[in-house]
Amino acid sequence: MNQPRCVLLAAFALTALIVGPAIAQSTIDVSLNLRYTDPADPTEGGQFTLVAKTNDTIGIAAISAYLDNINSAGIALQTGIGGMTPIYVMSFTDGTVNAIYGQDISTTVVPGVGTASTPAGLIATDPLWNPAWNNVTSIMTGTFGGLRPAFTTEGSSSTGGNVLTKSTVPGSAAAATLTTTVRGDSKNGLGLETGTGLFAGDADRDKKVGPADLAIIGLNWAPAATTKGWDTGDFDDNGAVGPADLAQIGLNWDPTGGKYVPPTVAGVPEPASLVLLSLVGLALLALRIRK
């Protein structure tokens, strides 16, 4: 049954709304990177980082992400990329969360977001070991629970983004073609990502099983413990660090990382968006409340 929905505009006025077709050569690629609290037990949840890259030479102006299975509280925007403060978050009764990053380009333009020259939030080396995701910008971070996060839609709305077309004040922006990807560091064999995932023994999650991991086992050796985790050497998720965990290091010994295949999920293209929030004046904040 369709439920009525009211739209509330923020107290800040919108001075101008630019609507137009996407620029064919402008793209934004977005990845939701998942760091599980315990890669051996994804139901414990973890932390996410939304990262983005663009082929636009000036940079990203706005991203509106529609996500399932994340916590709406505690979402934080990367500082230094010119976004709204506080970050705008909208929750729906079906669990969807819409989190928005957008520059107010009437007063300040921060170029370089999503490029290798980004002024802040640059992740030079992909923590999930795929060189295609080197030199991206961290957009926002947050947490998730036992269900694996995913990009989703809400009615006719889906994740979209804008790129900058002018870096002077007032700036200007245009719609971009956008793709979405979800990647994570679950344990090898769980099948949550394509690629090999983390091998048991890789306590520091650096795609290698070697001396550093052996040292972590030694520092945390506690065969009778019940509260240890992956990062302290408990690879079989029993709360202890003992002979079975040490044996996993021996079985998966790989100091060069040659066994790893980067976890990748094929990017899902989203419809080209209208110009979202990087407008003359402050952002249009729409809060949809289902009654």
Q: Which residues pair with residue 60 across a beta bridge? A: 163
Query: Which amino acid is present at 251?
Result: L
Interval 232-282: pLDDT, tens: 999 999 999 999 999 999 999 999 999 988 876 666 676 555 555 443 333
**Closest C-alpha to 26, from 179, 213, 199:** 179
Going by their DSSP bridges, the two strands 136-144 and 122-123 should be labelled as antiparallel
pLDDT exceeds 90 at position 4: no
Check: CB of residue 280 under 8 Å from CB of residue 268.
no
**From CA 171, how far away is CA 228, in angstroms rounded?**
51
Q: Letter for the amino acid at 259?
A: K
Q: Note the pTM of the prediction, 2 decimals.
A: 0.85
Looking at residue 194, what is its pLDDT?
80
Residues with Cβ < 8 Å from 221, sequence gap 6 or more?
Answer: 233, 241, 242
The per-type count for the chain, helices as H runs and strands as E runs, is 2, 17
* Segment 21-69, tens digit of pLDDT: 444 569 999 999 999 999 999 999 999 999 999 999 999 999 999 999 9
16 or 41: which leads in pLDDT: 41
Tokens of 26: 């402008």
Residue 201, amino acid: G
Residues 6+ apart with CB under 8 A from 2: none
pLDDT recorded at residue 22: 42
Closest CA to 91 of 82, 81, 100, 83: 100
**Strands in the chain per DSSP E:** 5-9, 27-36, 46-54, 60-68, 76-77, 88-91, 97-102, 122-123, 136-144, 150-151, 153-154, 157-158, 160-166, 172-175, 177-184, 268-270, 286-290
The tokens describing 157, both together, are 């709305």
pLDDT of residue 8 exceeding 90, the answer is no
> How much is the mean pLDDT over the chain?
84
Residue 272 three-state SS: coil
Which pair of structure tokens corresponds to residue 43? Answer: 């139901």
Between CA 239 and CA 247 the distance in angstroms is 16
Q: Phi/psi of residue 243, each to 5°?
A: -55, -40
Q: Are β-strands 27-36 and 177-184 bridged in parallel, bridged antiparallel, or unpaired? A: parallel
Q: Hey, which of 40-44, 281-285, 286-290 has the most confident mean pLDDT?
A: 40-44
In the chain, what is the straight-line distance between the N-terminal and C-terminal CA atoms, in Å? 12
Query: How is domain 199-260 classified at the CATH fold level?
Result: Type 1 dockerin domain (1.10.1330)
